[in-house]
Structures are given as C-alpha cells and as structure tokens.
A and B are shown apart, each in its own frame.
Chain A
Amino acid sequence: MATTTMTGSSTRTTPRRRITKPLAVVGLLALWLVAWTLLRGQDMLELPRATLTDLHHWLNDVNDSVGASRNSNPLFLYFFNEIRAVMDALVTFVQGLIAQPAYGRPVPVLGWLGVVALVSYASWAFGNWRVALLAAGGFTLFGLQGLWQESMDTLALTLVAVFVSLLFGIPLGILAGVSDRFHRLITPVLDLMQTMPTFVYLAPLTLVFLIGPASATIATLIYAMPPAIRITAHGIRSVPAPPVEATDSFGATRRQRLTKALLPLSKRTIVLGVNQTIMAALAMVTVAALIDAPGLGKTVIKALQTTDVGTAFNAGVAIVVMAIVLDRVTTAASIRAEQGGGEANPRIRRLLLAGFGLVAAVCSYLSYTYLWASEFPEGGQLGEYLSQGATTVTTWAQHNLADLTAAVKDGVTIALLNPLEALLAESPWWLMGAVIVLLAALIGNLRAAAVAAVCVGLLVGSGLWNASMVTLAMTLVATLLVVTLGVVIGVWMGRSSRADRVIRPVLDAGQTMPAFVYLIPVVALFSVSRFSAIVAGVVYAAPVAIKLVADGVRAIPESTVEAATAAGSNTWQTITKVQLPMARQSLLLATNQGLIYVLSMVVIGGLVGAGALGYEVVAGFSQGQLYGKGLAAGVAIVVLGIMLDRIARAAAQRSDRAPSANQT
C-alpha cells in the first residue's frame, strides 16, 4: 500500500529516471548473467526433502503442544469449543432443511421441488426473470445428474460459510472503509488469508475445531471472508465526496453519515462483494472434502482414487453450474439494488410478488409432505452421459493429442523453463536476492525495494530458498502464458460481443471447475512434469486475465476507435496503436491478478509433478513430521505473492505517473 506522499518528489525526478531506467535494468540483468556464469551452483541453499531446519522442528513442536493442551487450555474450553458448537449447529440446521434427513423424518424438511421453487422465486424477486429461469434450470440439473443430495450438502455448507463471512466481513469492511489505520492494519492479514495454501491449515483446524462441519466451514470462510471485507471497504472508499459533504452540511452525526450516505451509495459494490464471497466459498468445496466436508467435493475426491475422470467431471459440472447460477443471481441483484427493477407499475409487481410467493410456498409444502416432491425422481441418466462423455473425450485426447502436447511440453520446458530455473535457482542466494531488490528499486520505488528485501530475508529464513526460486521460475512462465492468452483472447472478446458471449461461460467454467477434476487429464497430456503444473495454473488464472483485458478494451469509448478507423488504421493498427495502449491499466491489473491466481495453484501443481514449494506443502499435510516444513513452504508462497504484488504495483504506479509528469 504505497501512500501518496511520495508523489511530489518522484514527479520531479521522473523525467531523468525515465531515460536511464531501461538502461539500468538492462545493465543489471547483464551483470547478473555474467556473475551467474562465474558463480553458478554456489550457495544455492538447497535443502534435501527429508531434512528439516530448526525452524521446521520448532513449528512441529508448537503444533504438537497445541494438540496436547486441547483438553486443559481455557482458550479451548471456553472459546474454540463454543465457536465449534455454534458452527456445527448452524450447518446441521441448514443441512436438515435441505440436505440431510432430520427431525425424525427420513428426508430433509424441504425436498427438491421446494428448493427449486424457493431459489427461483428469490432469484426473480431480487434479480430478474432470466436469472430465475437459469436458477430453476441449474438446480433441476443437479437432480438430473443424480447429485441432488451432494449438491444440497455443498449448498448448505456454502450458505453457512457465506453467512458467517458476511456477518463479520461487512462490518469489518465498513470499518476498513472509514478508518485508514484499520485499513492499513488489515490488508496484510487479508493477503495472508487469501494466499496461504489451505493444505497448511487443514490439519491444525481439525485439531482446534475437531473433525466435522465446523472445521470445514471455518476452512472455507478463511478464504471467503477477505473479498467481503476488501470489496465493502472499496465500496465505501469510492463513494464520491459531494453527497457525503452534503449530508455533513445538514449536521449529520457519524452514524447518520454512514447509514444515510455511505452505505446506500455503496450498496451495489457491497452486493458484488457478496458475489465474490460466494465464488470464493465454492472454490473451497473440494479441498474441504479432505477433512470430511460433505457434498460434491467428496464425490470428486473419491472418483480420483479410482482415476474415474468421468464421475469427477460430473460432480465438477455441478459445482460450476452452482457457481454460475449464484454468480448471475447476485450480479442481477446488485443491478437491481442500484437501478431498481425498472417495473412500470409497482402495484403489479407487488401482486406478482405475492402470487409467486404463494406458488413457492405451495411447492415447499408439497415437498414437505409428499415423497415425489421430496426425493428427486431416480432414473436421470444425465450424470452417466456426462461422465461417459468426459471419459471418452479424455481417452481420445490422450490417444490422439499426447504426441503433440508432449512436444509442446518439451519445447516450453527446454526453451523457457529450464534456462529460467537455472538462472533463478542456481544463482547464489545473495546474488539473486540483490538482483530482486535492485530490480524492485529500478522498476518500482524504494518502498518496494524495502519490501522485497524483507521478503528475500524471509525466504532465506524459511529454509526453502531454493525451492522458492524453482517455484518462482514456474510462476513466471505460467504468468507469461496467462498474459499472452489474456491479450489475445481478451482483445478478441473486447472487440466482438459475439465472441464474448460464447467464450465467457467457458471462462467461468475454467475458474470454478475444481482443479482435482482435471488433474488426470492434464497428466495424461503433459505427463508428470513442471509443465503440467504450469498448465493447471494457466487454466485457473487465464480466465481472470482474459476477462479483465476484455472489459478494459470494451471500456474504450467507441468514438476513439471510430476515429482511428476513419484515419485509415487497419485492424492490427487499431489494436496495437489504440486499443491496447488505452487499456493499459487493465493489462497491468490482468498481469497482477494472473500472477496471484497462478500462485494460488502452486499446491495443486505439487500434485502433478511441480515439486518445490507445492510438493512441500502437500507433504506437510500428509506427514506429521514434515508439518513444520510444509507450513514454512506455505509461508514462502505467501511471501512470494506479496513480494511480486508489491513490486508490480509500484511499477504500475510509477508508469502511471510518468506520462502525467510530462504533461505538467
């Protein structure tokens, strides 16, 4: 979080730096290469797999002593146990409503008909007709796939996690919105919550909150709450000044200022925060299944044990559909929150609200009373078709494409990944560290360099410097691929709304399909390799980058593009001379987000042959005596993320200022 106080001084010096900066960067890289050829292989700080540092041992001991004190420590008796009881009760309650037999009944309170009716009604009431139809269709699909109960378990857990996230997230977000100090304080905490791999805290969670719905929900909300806080704060912070000043001039108290001006004006953004919280919660479905969270995640994990790609895919589709339905409904709700529904006649809307409410109530009653409306009718073959289809496609691809994909893998690995890895990981640590810090100073600012220096220190201290550099090499290659895809497909989508309509659902699927579903196909095509890990990262990260670039290109005023065309630019010139430069902000954001998303897949990469930090985290989750090392690896991933993010932001800020400095 760079403050604005530095603007004055750097504006003055910017023109001089702009001339020398590229030269300085090239000079630095050249020096590095020379030093690398001389010093290659020295001080690499490699740590064998089974070796632990003192830090790792100490972390193991801390973990053990927490476990040993759980029956005597008052923190457990009066705090954690209470939280657990409340969470368990909440989840069990919602499960009893829609997913699990409860209250002496062989089925949940609400059957499929009631759930479909209520969800459609709510989608219509808060959103619009189209999303209501989508919701009805999507939820019926779960039944047809033969996954009704699993889907409802997942929905129950997600709802509770989202509810608790919002319960705490929105007030914290408001606080972060009005208080700069709190905002500065909480930002690194949120960074940590979002980038720390879940595998690191799953086992300790079950120690603290025991095995059960509470742990699964808490694991989910650790990841899902940050977007709620961040986006709420952002919403409050971007309320324009005039209306707030107007409220103040009427002598409003602080509370009135909040409830009468800030909150109503940031309503839409806050609803978007709800949307992102739901998406984040759904992203945790499969991982939470590793500690016995009920629902679709279990289906995926079980299918993986027998390498049954089809069944995993079927469950993955249900997760994607649930994400898309919830995303579209909450987006529609945020639009209604801002603009109203646009009804011509409020009286008719009230009538309809009552009428459809009645339909939903009748459906709910039926599903409470009658078996046919409660249990989804059997014989839906759709699930089987889906899984057979997926298996056929995978097998076909593996027979017909594997030679091609293997060539791609070999090409990228030999031409790009291996040299980069050699450069990063085989430089002495002090040389590499110095290069990072100097680079941060050159392309960013002194503040970024200071952050980078601290991060380098932490990476060395984690005992996993070498593994971090191997992971960094993979991350950079993956980010390069992500940005390339982002520019190519993003520009295409930005220029053609038809392309946008066709591609966007595919991107949604890429973002929400659990990585566990495509582990086996990826290995089938690219074998067990670092490149497989890169592919998994790209599948997850490219959609975000593509969407950001597409939105940036679309946001360019049409008149500008028309003017360029009128001046005789051909398509290529329009793209390279007008659209890309004007969407520069989006490109930078896409790069930054692409990088963070790639980093969040490092652990998944560890499951397909990435080795390095990802593997260490997985190993720490699997073997008690490696726990401390896994935790250190998790922290190293967080540190890499923060380091790259802060350098990239500083660089972006600086290049923003450069043109404006010239104008003044």
Chain B
Amino acid sequence: MRSIVNKRVLAGVSLSAVAALTLTACGGDKIESTDAADSGDCSTFTIAINPWVGYEANAAVIAHVAETELGCKVVKKDLKEEIAWQGFGTGQVDAIVENWGHDDLKKKYIEDQQTAVNAGSTGVEGVIGWYVPPWMAEEYPDITDWNNLNKYASLFETTESGGKGQLLDGDPSFVTNDEALVKNLGLDYQVVYAGSEPALIQAFRQAEEKKEPVLGYFYDPQWFLSEIELVKVDLPEYQEGCDADPEKVACDYPVYDLDKIVSKSFADANGPAYQLVDNFNWSNEDQNLVARYIAQDNMSPEEAAEKWVEANQDKVEAWLPQS
C-alpha cells in the first residue's frame, strides 16, 4: 500500500512541476534560427591539427586571420601527421601548417601520388637533439660535449637501461637515429623508449625538480622549454648527407626548416585561404609566445591567436592576399 501512496504523491508533485516549469519559462529568451551566413569567395577551409602545441599555435593564428579577415569558414580536424597527409588525397584536408621533414611522406604524396604540394617555409626552425636538465649542465659543465658522455654514463643508469646509461626517446612520430648514433659513436648507453611526449616531458620535469640525472631526445620549438630551459648536448656537427645511411649515422640531426604542405586541389584553386597559407611566415619567438599562451596561461587557441594578432597587425598584413 505504502508504495501506491508514494506514487500518488509523486504524480501530484510531477504535475505541479510541469505547471511551474511552464510558468517560469515564459520570461526566457527564445531561440532564433540563424540564416546561413554568406562567406564571400572563401568558402570552407580545412586545417589538420597535428597533436602538439606549436602546431596548434600556427593553426590558430592562420584560422583566426582566415575567419576575421577573409571570411572563411575554418574547420579544424585533430589528426596525427600520417592521417593528415592521407587526407590530401581524399580531399578532406586542405593544409598542414607545420611539417617536420617527413621525406618519406613527401615522396609518397608530393612526388608519387601528386596529391600534395609544398607551400613554403613557416619561418620556424626546428632543432632535434639530446638534452639534459639545466642543473646537470651547471654541475657538470663538460657534459654538453658528446665526447664526455661515456664518463657520465653510470649517472644515467636506471632499471630499464640494462647496466648502461639511459638515453630516453619519446613519441615515435619523431624521426630518431638514436640507436644508430649510440652504436656508431661508441657510447655506453641504451635507448629506452618512453613512447609519448607527455611521458618524456614528465621525466625531464621531475629530473630538474629533484636534481636527478636524465638524458633525453627533445626538440625546439616546444612550449616546455619556456618552463624549463633544457640544455642541448653537442653531437658531431651535421654535414650535408652525413645522415644518408640510417645505419651509419654518426652526426647530429639537421636543422629542420619547418614548412607547410597543402593539397594539390587547394593550391590549384588559388583561393584567398591558400594565399594566406602560402604567405604565412613568422619566427620561433612568435610561435613560442602563442604556444606559451596556450600551454602555460591556459588560454584557448582562439584566445591566444586573437591576442597575438592584435599585437602584431603589421605581420598579419603581409600575409593577406594581394588583390
């Protein structure tokens, strides 16, 4: 019996709730339907967003300019590099706005399939190398010369490195010659694969905090370097062609000119969005600033881009299509 009574009460309550809701509703703002806005001669522009903050900085600024200055409808797709390149052929991606080398993909999609074309440099230089936390460079000043690495190998020993020094590698998306380098330079080290960028960053962060030794693969520009300024270890200097045979590499990584890749059809159409991507060019400092807004000041990429664009109108002017 009790349950029936309860349910009657509840039924009453619910009916009065309906009444109350209907009454309170009358004051609210109604939803207006929106007319599809006409977007001028720039229609939809699809940027792939590769998963690192520096890339996001480039993309956010380009997207912001495309939306505010050119009236484009920008679609951002979160994709890893390989899948983004695939998207050129299927017409689902218009532009990749920070590309690190990837000679294999260039050969496949630009030369063989001819679905992509190069749209020039972003003006940002990419450096890959081996880094130690700043406290180590201070305590052992000569550690930044590779010739001395063997002297310190025992410092870097961990449970994972099988009695040798540990050289920590990160996200497998990045090109690495580290196993060959260790072998060819005769280093008493073992490459251990962290497997992801967050794991690598966490390892460096903790090493600096607790003054523990760590030697790892890292790259610049990267927002983390403005949190902790890692120090690069000098490997034998890069010479043109010294990395031709991946098995025999015994030199440092080249400096990468980070470039932009766009789909062939996007380039051929030569619309305003393509011209913007083609003209886009800034510096490491510019990108680091926007990346810091995003990663450390917790701004959304859109807010970060807006802030930078407002302060750098002159640079933006130069990217706009000349018509």
Is the C-beta of A658 less than 8 angstroms from some C-beta in chain B? no
Is the C-beta of B311 less than 8 angstroms from some C-beta in chain A? no
Q: Is the CB of B31 within 8 A of A370?
A: yes
Residues of chain A within 8 A of B22, CB atoms compared: 362, 366
- Chain B: residues with Cβ within 8 Å of the partner, total of 76
Residues of chain B within 8 A of A104, CB atoms compared: 33-36
Is the C-beta of A236 less than 8 angstroms from some C-beta in chain B? no
Is the C-beta of A326 less than 8 angstroms from some C-beta in chain B? no
Q: Is the CB of B198 within 8 A of A523?
A: yes
| B29 CB contact (under 8 Å) in A49, A359, A370, A626 | A370
Is the C-beta of B257 less than 8 angstroms from some C-beta in chain A? no
Question: Which residue of chain B is the closest to A610 with respect to CB atoms?
Answer: B195
Q: Is the CB of B90 within 8 A of A359?
A: no
Docked complex Cα distance between A608 and B36 (Å):
46
Is the C-beta of B89 less than 8 angstroms from some C-beta in chain A? yes
Is the C-beta of B113 less than 8 angstroms from some C-beta in chain A? yes
Residue from B3, B17, B113, B198 whose CB has the most chain A CB atoms within 10 Å: B198
Residues of chain A within 8 A of B255, CB atoms compared: none
Is the C-beta of B279 less than 8 angstroms from some C-beta in chain A? no
B95 smallest CB distance to A (angstroms): 14
Interface residues on A, range: 35 or more
| B53 CB contact (under 8 Å) in A67, A306, A622 | A306
Evaluate whether A68 and B113 lie within 8 angstroms (CB atoms) in the complex, with A362-B18, A608-B199 already known. yes
Is the C-beta of A373 less than 8 angstroms from some C-beta in chain B? yes
Question: Which residue of chain A is the closest to B84 with respect to CB atoms?
Answer: A211
User: Which B residues between 50 and 91 are near A, CB-CB below 8 angstroms?
Assistant: 51-53, 56, 77-83, 86-87, 89-90
- Residue-by-residue, is A525-540 near B (CB-CB < 8 Å gives 1, otherwise 0)? 0011111000000000
Evaluate whether A624 and B105 lie within 8 angstroms (CB atoms) in the complex, with A106-B31, A212-B92, A609-B192 already known. yes
Evaluate whether A67 and B4 lie within 8 angstroms (CB atoms) in the complex, with A371-B30, A528-B168, A624-B108 already known. no
| A370 CB contact (under 8 Å) in B28, B51, B224, B246 | B28
Is the C-beta of B11 less than 8 angstroms from some C-beta in chain A? yes
B52 smallest CB distance to A (angstroms): 6
Is the C-beta of A340 less than 8 angstroms from some C-beta in chain B? no
Docked complex Cα distance between A366 and B10 (Å):
22
User: Which B residues between 17 and 33 are near A, CB-CB below 8 angstroms?
Assistant: 17-18, 21-22, 25, 28-33
- Residue-by-residue, is B180-219 near A (CB-CB < 8 Å gives 1, otherwise 0)? 1000000000011111111111110110001000000000
Q: Is the CB of A306 within 8 A of B223?
A: yes
Evaluate whether A211 and B30 lie within 8 angstroms (CB atoms) in the complex, with A520-B198, A527-B206, A529-B158 already known. no
Is the C-beta of A547 less than 8 angstroms from some C-beta in chain B? no
Docked complex Cα distance between A107 and B31 (Å):
8
Q: Is the CB of A359 within 8 A of B92?
A: no
Evaluate whether A105 and B31 lie within 8 angstroms (CB atoms) in the complex, with A292-B79, A306-B295, A519-B196 already known. yes
Evaluate whether A609 and B18 lie within 8 angstroms (CB atoms) in the complex, with A210-B92, A306-B223 already known. no
Q: Is the CB of B11 within 8 A of A344?
A: no
Q: Is the CB of A370 within 8 A of B25?
A: yes
Is the C-beta of A291 less than 8 angstroms from some C-beta in chain B? yes
Q: Is the CB of A373 within 8 A of B159?
A: no
Question: Which residue of chain A is the closest to B104 with respect to CB atoms?
Answer: A625
Is the C-beta of A307 less than 8 angstroms from some C-beta in chain B? yes
Among B122-130, B171-179, B315-323, the one that faces the other chain is B171-179
Question: Which residue of chain B is the closest to A113 with respect to CB atoms?
Answer: B21
Docked complex Cα distance between A573 and B159 (Å):
40
Residues of chain A within 8 A of B203, CB atoms compared: 523, 527-528
Evaluate whether A289 and B172 lie within 8 angstroms (CB atoms) in the complex, with A348-B8, A362-B18, A524-B206 already known. no
Is the C-beta of A619 less than 8 angstroms from some C-beta in chain B? yes
Is the C-beta of B93 less than 8 angstroms from some C-beta in chain A? yes
Q: Is the CB of B86 within 8 A of A206?
A: yes
User: Which A residues between 333 and 375 are near B, CB-CB below 8 angstroms?
Assistant: 343-345, 348-349, 351-352, 355-356, 358-359, 362-363, 366, 368-374
| A520 CB contact (under 8 Å) in B14, B36, B179, B202 | B202
Q: Is the CB of B196 within 8 A of A607?
A: yes
Is the C-beta of B269 less than 8 angstroms from some C-beta in chain A? no
Docked complex Cα distance between A212 and B53 (Å):
22
Q: Is the CB of B14 within 8 A of A359?
A: yes
Is the C-beta of A223 less than 8 angstroms from some C-beta in chain B? no
Q: Is the CB of B34 within 8 A of A106?
A: yes
Evaluate whether A355 and B80 lie within 8 angstroms (CB atoms) in the complex, with A363-B21, A527-B158 already known. no
Evaluate whether A528 and B194 lie within 8 angstroms (CB atoms) in the complex, with A305-B52, A352-B11, A370-B25 already known. yes
Please name the 8 residue pairs, one residue from A and one from B, whose CB atoms are nearest each other, closest first.
A619-B172, A370-B28, A607-B196, A622-B173, A306-B295, A413-B159, A371-B29, A372-B28
A residues near B, CB below 8 A? 48-50, 64, 67-68, 70, 101, 103-107, 202-203, 206-207, 210-212, 289-292, 298, 301-302, 304-308, 343-345, 348-349, 351-352, 355-356, 358-359, 362-363, 366, 368-374, 398, 402, 409-410, 413-414, 418, 519-520, 523-524, 527-531, 606-611, 614-615, 618-619, 621-626
Q: In the complex, given contacts A203-B86, A369-B30, A608-B196, what are 18 additional A-B residue pairs having Cβ atoms less than 8 angstroms apart?
A: A106-B34, A210-B92, A211-B92, A291-B79, A304-B198, A305-B198, A306-B223, A306-B295, A306-B296, A308-B298, A362-B21, A369-B25, A414-B159, A519-B199, A520-B199, A528-B160, A528-B194, A624-B105
A-B contact pairs, 29 of them (CB 8 A): A50-B179, A50-B246, A104-B35, A105-B31, A106-B31, A106-B34, A207-B86, A211-B86, A291-B83, A292-B77, A305-B53, A307-B202, A344-B1, A352-B7, A355-B14, A366-B22, A369-B30, A372-B28, A523-B199, A528-B168, A607-B195, A609-B194, A611-B192, A615-B193, A618-B196, A621-B82, A622-B172, A624-B105, A625-B104
